Chain A
Amino acid sequence: MASLIAWRLVAAPHPASLEDYPRPPAPAALRLTTLGDPRAGALFWMLWLQTFDDQAGVTASFKKMDFAHLTAWLERILALDPGSEYPLLMATRVYGAVLDPGRQRLMIDFVGRAFRDAPERRWQWQALAAVQARHGLGDRQLALTLVEELEQRVPARQLPFWVRGLHVIILREGNEIEAAKRLMELMARDGGLTERQRQAVEMWRERLEELR
């Protein structure tokens, strides 16, 4: 036992080397690795992907990693469990927060594709991608496109007040005052607003009038 411990102490450590995300296997091959349990398998693969940047002796920077492969992994894992939100959470909150516009756009595109596959289940991730596009990427036009797509594909009554408010804010920031006013009139006409929300809409309308 002592010789074993001594050997481990003197043996050379693993060389520190950085590996990039490998190309993911074909969907059916990835499914085979889950031993007939794609839901649980998706979770285990997600954890592997999530810890991939912590490698022996080195912590990889996302800025140096291949995000095209990462996006392909996220898509394959989401296909294993379409009901899971974890790949979308990681794409918006973790990988999408990397300070690199190209990589951020890849993540926003991934969320957009996932949203179009199941708009009513994944609208909140599209809304978060719009916030990311506006504040992370500074691309107001992309944020506007994402929010408009969101409102086209999901019934207004299903969307919370803050998502529709986000649309108003992006329009106002772009000086599209008339469009913002029309949207708020629609919100007021749709009904279903609480007293506080009605007050907020009224306040926004007054501010827009001042801006005009």
Chain B
Amino acid sequence: MHHSRQHRGQAPSRLSAVAILAVLTLRMALRERLARAMALMIALCWAATWFLASLLVSDETGPQAAMLGFLLRLGSVFLTIVTVTFSLTRDLQNRGLEMMLALPYPRGVIWLGKGVGFSLIASLLAILDVLALLPLAPPGQALLWGVAINAELWLMATLAMLLSLALRQAPLALTMTVALYLLGRSMHSLLLIARQSAEIAAEHWSAVVAQQLLTVISWLLPDLERFTVTDWLLHHGGSLTALAPILTETALYLALLIAVGHLELRRRAF
């Protein structure tokens, strides 16, 4: 590396290194036909919505947009998690990540570069989702929904990165990421069930402990039910103010996940 520096001048700055790694990560994913997978996912969501809409008694576009939004969200989250998990676990297994870590940059720079690359993939998906929704939803509401799905996908991409690094095995990391996503998405319903169970069990200690435990878990997880609100597509009631808590929560959890990922990377011997 020192040799190449003498011949080619200064090595890229840390910021440039992050950008180069990010672009490389995106290009690697695209080379593996990610674009086709994205197009197929959106086409399948459209076909399913078209079929379901034909069953509706009403011909309003709101319900169609809501169904398409629901399917696109699930499809996009799944595609993002799968892409990140398989890409990173393969890098870990074929020593691609080790080669990157041999570059004269702190491990944090490498980690951030990969993270930005996966976030670009997530943003690309979010943009395609918004474009797919435009024929059925008002542009303003579709755009709000797009910002929220982008935040949700960034969070899930970063979580998938961390779990892939920590667990190293794709099936295990994939299962854990999907489980945590479903838990984050269903936390309100689970809390409701726990509260009702405690009431039915006449505040029996075991039901109360279960409720308290679930409440503590809910503090640790992002409130994903507040993200990507279908109501905006269905009843068009979204406003810019709704984005403030979503973006704040995204920033907090991203900072936490990146920090934990960085610590794990520093701790790990390659």
Interface residues of A (CB under 8 A from B): 26-29, 31-32, 34-37, 39-41, 43-44, 47, 50-51, 81, 83-84, 86, 89-90, 93-94
Contacts and interface: CB of A to CB of B under 8 A. Distances in A.
Contacts of B69: 40
A88 to B, nearest CB: 11
A168 B22 CA distance: 71
A47 B56 contact: yes
Interface residues of B, number: 31
B207 interface: no
Contacts of B90: none
Interface stretch (B107-115, B227-235, B253-261): B227-235
Most buried by A among B52, B187, B189: B189
B33 to A, nearest CB: 26
8 contacts: A27-B192, A35-B74, A35-B185, A36-B188, A39-B230, A39-B234, A83-B231, A83-B237
Contacts of B73: 37
A32 B196 CA distance: 13
Interface string B53-64: 001111000010
Contact of B67 (A27, A29, A43): A43
A67 to B, nearest CB: 18
Given A83-B231, A93-B57, A39 B190 contact: no
Contact of A26 (B63, B66, B196, B235): B196
A83 B235 contact: yes
A47 B63 CA distance: 11
A141 B50 CA distance: 43
A94 B57 contact: yes
B193 interface: yes
A31 B195 CA distance: 14
Contact of B66 (A29, A36, A40, A51): A40
A83 to B, nearest CB: 5
A39 B232 CA distance: 10
Most buried by B among A36, A40, A41, A86: A36
A37 to B, nearest CB: 5
B224 interface: yes
Most buried by B among A26, A34, A39, A94: A39
B196 A28 contact: yes
A3 B63 CA distance: 42
Contacts of A27: 192
B185 to A, nearest CB: 3
Interface string B64-80: 00110110011000000
Interface string B212-248: 0000000000001100011100110100000000000
Contact of B63 (A28, A43, A51): A43
B186 interface: yes
A81 B63 CA distance: 12
Contacts of A39: 66, 229-231, 234
